Structure 1
Amino acid sequence: MKYFAVLLFSAVLFVACGDESSSSAPAPDPSGESSSTVEMAKESSSSAATKNSSSSVDGDKSSSSVKKEDSSSSVVNESSSSATPKSSSSEEVKQSSSSVVASSSSEEEELSSSSYDRTIAFKGVLWRAGDYIKFVDPRNSREYYYIQIDGKDTAGKAASIKVMAENLDIGEFVWGFEDQEDDSKIEKYCYKNDTANCNNYGGLYQWAEMMQLPSRCNTESCADLIKPNHQGICPDGWRLLTYNDYYIAVHANNNKDGVKGTRSAYGFGGSNDSGFSLIGAGSSWNHSFSGLNDNTYWFYPVESSVGGDQFVHASFQYSTAKGNPDEEVYKIHGFSVRCVMVE
């Protein structure tokens, strides 16, 4: 009997211990720590995605801030929607533009002293490097090459000119969507707003800027201000190219190819028989750049006789052109400039 009591006590003790052990190790709760970790990971991922999305938007805004008309309109819209004073918005745009222009100016100085060889455009069938004479513009120390071309003028008489074989590059960079309207200084466009293109192809100028007349002359007649041998933005001792000058280049004694002989043999479909060395500098057409390496335009210092106050005479060449045009175009376009020595 004593023995049976001991066995019964042992059995009860064993059952009690087993219940305590079972209650101290509960089954995992589906809403416990593992689920919380997943939710935290989701929140972290969502937060990171939101941050990256925000950074991407900021990056897009930064990129669009250097565009032309689009940047101005987008900044104005943001200003009105966020109730930011227009003066503040304008100041931010001005500061942004100033910093880019400063950067462009530094780049231009660096490019001006680079090893880019502009004389490659001079190569042709009849002209040699020795036929070109170097000239330095004292205003910005820019070097140009010019040549003497002997031929016939519009009256069929023998004539000679000393003309730059390169497009002029002088003035302060302004954005292509702006007008060149600061009459206190010379301003220029660089194709696609890239100062490297000014270094390689020359600047692009509105008519009044080329003429160094008040900017109002782009929309009204200033015929009374045009002088014989009009200097415009050319260096001292030089004048702006006229249609008669271009005619002499087309009808140069050495030129067997007509207008093709005025174009560079390097990338512009010409033979350069005349040595005039036209290159595809493109243009700013209604504040929109186009035609690099495919066309080139230049104004003459003559207003329109029939088109109205906003029109002037100009010529152009395409890489496949055969004609010798003298057209009337708007003064607000941005074209290349060539200069002729005053003799």
Structure 2
Amino acid sequence: MKKLYTLGFVALLFVGCSDNGSDAEDVFGPGKKKGKTVTVSGVAQRGFGETTASDSIQLGSRLAPEYWIGEWGESVGIDSAGNFSASVFGLKINYAELYSPSNIPLSAALDVSKSNTANVNYLTSLITESVWHYMEQGMAYEEAWSKAAKSLLKNLHMPENLTDFTHYSLYGEGEGDAMLAALSIVIERSVTWRVFEMDTATGLFREEEAFKKISANVAGLVYGDKLDSLRKAVEAQSPTGKVANYEKYLSEIFADGEGYDRCTAENQGKLIGYEDYYYASIVCDKSVWRKAHLGDFIGPKYNPDLTYGMYIDDRDHHVYMTINIGGKLWMADNLNYADSSATPNLAGQSWCYDNDSTNCNVFGRMYTWSAAMDLPSAFLDSSYDEKEGFHQGICPEGWHIPTDEELNSVTFEGSPLSSFMTGSDNASGFSVIPGGAAYAETEYGDSEEYTGVMHFEAMESYTNIWIRNEYNSRNAEAWYYRYSMEGGRSQAYSELNDKHHGFYVRCLKDY
């Protein structure tokens, strides 16, 4: 007879009903009867990132590694679609196990007197050892399965009524199918399957912080705005091109792990400001927490209760809204000027977010500090002998790059943030919108050597605006703006930044 080692991680098989094996002796110990020949067929599903091609599966009977009853059948192949048919001879008990020993083993504990088809998956695999353990303690098979399955689901913050793991499919349309798909994604993304091991005595995960580790993987999908691309990849593997709404269950893990309310009908459209680590706001959308996009931010860009003017730049005929704040005339839009022929210092020193021109139409253009100041790029790494008076930079004639003092005064003359930025009232009319930033990448381990690549980050989360103030040969000042949901307040302050980064420009009329 063949001994199987403890299984920790598993895949998926479908189970039907049959009297196959019903003559076998239903006892925990060697029987006197000759035993039955039993065949179980089904499908093994290893999740979306794994394949069952070239895998094998085996049917046999056991209750614990140290106690074996009956024989183990020969290993049989699993085809590319996961289908199999496995047999065992001389089975003297009604309970058998399907086992597939690949990199991530699959298993399922079965009552072969009632079923001869099965879906073996990660969930059936995770509870196999617990089912056998509880049966050794004297539980009936159904009770042991229910207890093991409910313990797993409780640990994963999933509905405890969805315990029929052997009947769920990655490509089904039911709630159990959706949950299986979600948990299969979570399991595949986990650093190690051991985080899912349960203590049968307590019914809890062995690792105290296991759920936090699991939910962190889901948070990466949500904050990283990867749910849409993941669905496309998953649907591409489906025979029908469809997969159930697994995002709902991913969202529940995310919400519980991050300490948010679950996304329900009562809080549709609710926005939560970004956490500092992820730089992303999230929104409740049809049962799913996802990264917020421009269209999710409520309110107009400009304050409808204020009177704005209009300025047309003679250089390229671009139109900007203007607003009078504290007796000074400001552009209420970020500059969007890009003519490097007329202004050579712009060449290679300005960008649209993600290099997409449509983003310039919404947010304006990002510039290095030297480009904003209309200085040669040599001043990215050397100091500029600052002159008294207004510094025009790349602003139109009669306008200038603001100083720290000027931008400070307008920033605290009523809220400066557009209501695009979650919850702000834009009281001053300055209309700052969250256009993100472009960060200059450097060689790994060397902060002096630039790769020439710009990394775009945090659109719809925060924004930076250059001022003329230089700190040293490498750094200049910029104002940073974001709206904090925590406490319901805007945040704005001046900070030093590398001159090579790409930030926005606001022009102030000379006075």
Query: Which residue matches 1:292?
Result: 459
Matching of residue 132 in structure 1 with residue 308 in structure 2? yes
Query: Which residue matches 1:120?
Result: 300
Query: Which residue matches 2:399?
Result: 238
Q: Distance in 1 between matches of 2:503 and 2:461?
A: 14
Higher strand share: 2
The one of the two structures with greater contact order (alpha-carbon pairs below 8 A, sep at least 6) is 1
Q: Distance in 1 between matches of 2:401 and 2:348?
A: 15
The 3-state SS of whatever aligns with 1:278 is coil
1:225 Cα offset (Å) = 4.5
The 3-state SS of whatever aligns with 1:200 is helix
Aligned residue type for 1:317? Y
Q: Distance in 2 between matches of 1:215 and 1:162?
A: 29
1:183 Cα offset (Å) = 3.0
Q: Distance in 1 between matches of 2:348 and 2:492?
A: 30
Cα deviations across residues 40-66 of structure 1 (Å, max 9, x unaligned)? xxxxxxxxxxxxxxxxxxxxxxxxxxx
Superposed, 1:275-314 pairs within 5 Å as 275-286=429-440, 287-304=454-471, 308-314=472-478
Cα deviations across residues 109-134 of structure 1 (Å, max 9, x unaligned)? xxxxxxxxxx931036xx33xx1001
1:191 to 342, 347, 353: 353
Cα deviations across residues 209-229 of structure 1 (Å, max 9, x unaligned)? 00001110001111x144521
Superposed, 1:157-306 pairs within 5 Å as 160-172=327-339, 183=345, 187-222=349-384, 224-252=385-413, 255=414, 261-286=415-440, 287-304=454-471
Q: Distance in 2 between matches of 1:280 and 1:310?
A: 25
Q: 1:288 to 1:226 in 2, by over 3 A?
A: farther
Structure number with greater Rg is: 1
Aligned residue type for 2:419? A
Matching of residue 319 in structure 1 with residue 319 in structure 2? no
1:245 Cα offset (Å) = 2.1
The 3-state SS of whatever aligns with 1:274 is coil
Higher helix share: 1
Q: Distance in 2 between matches of 1:271 and 1:165?
A: 15
Q: TM-score, normalised by structure 1?
A: 0.53
1:182 Cα offset (Å) = 5.3
The 3-state SS of whatever aligns with 1:283 is strand
1:143 to 315, 319, 326: 319
Q: Distance in 1 between matches of 2:504 and 2:394?
A: 12
Q: Is the 8 A contact 1:170 1:188 kept in 2?
A: no
Q: 1:312 to 1:195 in 2, by over 3 A?
A: same
Q: 1:295 to 1:195 in 2, by over 3 A?
A: same
Query: Which residue matches 2:212?
Result: none
The 3-state SS of whatever aligns with 1:249 is helix
1:269 Cα offset (Å) = 3.5
Q: Is the 8 A contact 2:351 2:366 kept in 1?
A: yes
Q: Is the 8 A contact 2:366 2:504 kept in 1?
A: yes
Q: Distance in 2 between matches of 1:183 and 1:241?
A: 19
Query: Which residue matches 1:332?
Result: 500
Aligned residue type for 1:312? A
Query: Which residue matches 1:27?
Result: none
Q: Distance in 1 between matches of 2:309 and 2:435?
A: 22
Aligned residue type for 1:142? H
How many positions carry a matched residue from both structures? Answer: 194
1:337 Cα offset (Å) = 0.3
The 3-state SS of whatever aligns with 1:313 is strand
Q: Distance in 1 between matches of 2:387 and 2:371?
A: 13
Alpha-carbon RMSD across the aligned residues, in angstroms, is 2.2
1:145 Cα offset (Å) = 0.8
Q: Is the 8 A contact 2:466 2:479 kept in 1?
A: yes
Q: Distance in 2 between matches of 1:246 and 1:146?
A: 15
Q: Is the 8 A contact 1:268 1:294 kept in 2?
A: no
Q: Is the 8 A contact 1:172 1:186 kept in 2?
A: no
1:266 Cα offset (Å) = 2.4
Aligned residue type for 1:146? T
1:283 Cα offset (Å) = 0.6
For structure 1, the residue ranges without an aligned partner over 5 or more in a row are 1-118, 151-159, 174-180, 256-260
Q: Distance in 2 between matches of 1:341 and 1:186?
A: 27
Q: Distance in 2 between matches of 1:184 and 1:167?
A: 16
Q: Is the 8 A contact 1:226 1:301 kept in 2?
A: no
Q: Is the 8 A contact 2:404 2:469 kept in 1?
A: no
For structure 2, the residue ranges without an aligned partner over 5 or more in a row are 1-298, 441-453
Q: Distance in 2 between matches of 1:133 and 1:241?
A: 19
Q: Distance in 2 between matches of 1:212 and 1:271?
A: 33
